Amino acid sequence: MQIREGLALVEADLKDISASLAGLAREHRDTPVIGRSNLQQATPITFGYKMASILAGIERHRERLEQLKPRVLVGEFGGASGTLSSLEKGAMQTQAGLMKELGLGQPLISWHTVRDNFAEVGAFLELVGGSLGKIAMDVKLMMQTEVAEVFEPFAPGRGSSSTMPQKRNPISCLYIHANISVVRQLAASLMDAMVADHERSTGPWEIEWVALPEIFCLMSGALKQTKFILGGLEVDAVQMRRNIDLTHGLVMSEAVMMGLGPFIGREYAHDLVYDICREALAAKRPLVDLLVAHPEISKHVTREQLASFCDPMNNLGQAGVMVDRVLASLRD
């Protein structure tokens, strides 16, 4: 019954988080931002796409929560060994009446030492924590001074250092990270609690008494901090574009290679663009200038065509379509 009440709070928080992510995905459907692979700049995406990707995961958690309720919210009333042997008449009817009064499902069979239901709750909350951690991780990285693309909501004095007043630390992200790390360890302990002996165990289920309340409390804090971040996230679209342009077009090398492929062959285009990228990097010159100057390229395509290849807005793939698909799939 406490799990039922706790899951209702989690459900409400997930709905709020989903709504905030949906708002960000919708608003920034076409806002370009650099994609990152191994912490290095990759191909451009949109910030809406980034938010919609996380949103899809949150929606899967909401679906999981609905699916686990019938399995988890089931009562237990079975007596010493679970067989209701102490009730001479109407045993199953008595059990059914009790469960109805408590608002719980009637079990098919006693489950006193078959504790997968509690372990599933812990595993579910651990999964939710992983998604919250993903949000916190990306916000932390995007808040770095050298990146400065998004920020946690501002409040006077919040996030400043005791010795460095200029700092704006990712406070909520740190709390989320710490909470979900502990939840992960506690959820694992619930798997240990499943290893129970016979029909009334010698102790493993007491692990749940320690772990489950802590998991719910820690996840409540992580959910609250995530709602705070997403509800007032500051997005700097101008800085996002600046960061795309940091390499003077090098992040568009894939698009250039694919654009040249029909003229000179994909493999040759790959090797040629690779060499030109190295040259552009060393000379700190715009990629398009070196492409235009290369005779193997200029005889096939114009500067305008090359500039089109190097334009991030022309190379966002199906980001917008995918955002729309996620938004169209949202549950109430």
Residue 127 belongs to what H/E stretch? helix 116-142
161 is catalytic: yes
Residue 44 belongs to what H/E stretch? strand 40-46
Of 4, 60, 200, 303, which residue is the catalytic one? 200
CA distances from 65 to 9, 41, 51, 162, 189 (A): 12, 36, 21, 42, 21
CA distances from 240 to 36, 53, 57, 159, 260 (A): 12, 18, 24, 22, 27
Of 85, 161, 181, 298, which residue is the catalytic one? 161
Amino acid identity for residue 186 in this structure: L
Tokens of 329: 């799939």
200 is catalytic: yes
- The residue behind tokens 């709504």 is 19
Give 3-state DSSP helix, strand, coil % of the chain, rounded to 5.
65, 5, 30
**Rounded Cα–Cα distance for residues 11 and 133 (Å):** 18
**Rounded Cα–Cα distance for residues 329 and 278 (Å):** 43
C-alpha dihedral sign at 16, 21, 24, 27: negative
Which ranges in 143-245 belong to alpha helices (H)? Answer: 171-193, 206-231, 237-244
List 150's β-bridge partners, or say none.
Answer: 235
Listed residue (128, 114, 125) closest to 199, CA to CA: 114
> Known catalytic residues?
161, 200
